[in-house]
Amino acid sequence: MLDETHPAQPQSQKDPNTYTLGRILSHNVVIACLPAGIYGTNEAATVVSNMRTTFPNLEYFLMVGVGGGAPSATHDIRLGDVVVSKPTGQYGGVIQYDFGKAVPGESFHLTGMLNQPPQLYGRRILWVTSHIAMVSFLAGSAGSPNIATLLILRFLVGTFGGSPLVNSCGTIAELFGPAQRGLALKIYCAVPFLGHILGPIVGGFVAQSVGWRMVQGVCVILIGVIGVLGILVIPKKYKLVLLQRRGRQLATADKSGGSAAV
């Protein structure tokens, strides 16, 4: 199964697990199994919790086991079949069969599921790309020749402008530790309310003084400056992307005979 087997490493005194260490392609792998005669999700969670004490930098955890058969008229799943799922709609991709309740006269109601797989590229590239698109369409709306063009461009501005709203909580969680995260989220949630107060005042003043097009222009300037500051100041914090970059740097240094800084 492993392309290469690694020697055992020192373990935490609180970790009773037994591990097999190795490599699959370019990935370092830690393998552990449940004790003989023990099974169940709670026991598996205990093994993973112990694993984190010895290997705190693990990025992914993959649970592998033999699933019971679940034959039906639509999906003939038998004992030992390999089933690969994917996130669809409101479902995270992996649903335990007993995470729900049977309601008389109705279908089985799901009450919980495993979370979706982790992100692969981080949020920064999405934030930067959508921010540039938002500023570009906003600048275009300032020069709209008619109301139809203005409506279309403003729709695109709102579409790409939604990226900070849906990604901000995850970004704050990466930038701040648990002790500071609550205050940071409170400040973030309070700031957008200023738009409802300052927006009509500033927008009305600008529109009456120099015209409605400059309202778009002022937004372009403010959002553009904030975007540039964000690109320069906000660091990449997603560990997987950082480790991939570090791996590429080390590989390049090895090929060139040089060294990369840690």
- 133 domain residue, yes or no: yes
Q: Is residue 255 part of a domain?
A: no
- How many angstroms separate the CA atoms of 96 and 84, rounded? 14
Could you give the number of structural domains in the chain? Answer: 2
- Structural domain contains residue 144: yes
| 261 found inside a domain | no
Instruction: Judge whether 220 lies within some domain.
Output: yes
Per-residue pLDDT of 167-223, as tens digits, reads 777 777 767 777 787 888 888 888 777 777 888 888 888 888 888 888 888 888 888
Residue 165 lies in a domain: yes
Q: Tell me the two tokens of residue 45.
A: 């969670």
* Residue 175, pLDDT score: 72
Answer yes or no: do 129 and 220 share one domain: yes
Residues 129 and 223 in one domain: yes
Question: Higher pLDDT residue, 34 or 256?
Answer: 34
How many helices (H) and strands (E) the chain has is answered by 8, 7
Domain ranges, residue 47: 1-62
Q: What is the DSSP letter of 91?
A: B
Domain boundary among 41, 62, 83: 62
Question: d(Cα 198, Cα 210) in Å, to the nearest integer?
Answer: 18
Asked if residue 258 is part of any domain, the answer here is no
52 and 142 assigned to the same domain = no
* Distance (Å, whole) CA 148 – CA 145: 9
User: What size, in residues, is the chain?
Assistant: 262
Task: HSE, CB side, 13 Å, CA atoms: give it for residue 109.
Answer: 7
Q: What is the pTM of this model?
A: 0.47
From 34, 62, 90, the end of a domain falls on: 62
Q: Which of 62, 87, 109 is the last residue of a domain?
A: 62
CB neighbourhood size of 127 (10 A): 19
Q: Is residue 119 part of a domain?
A: no
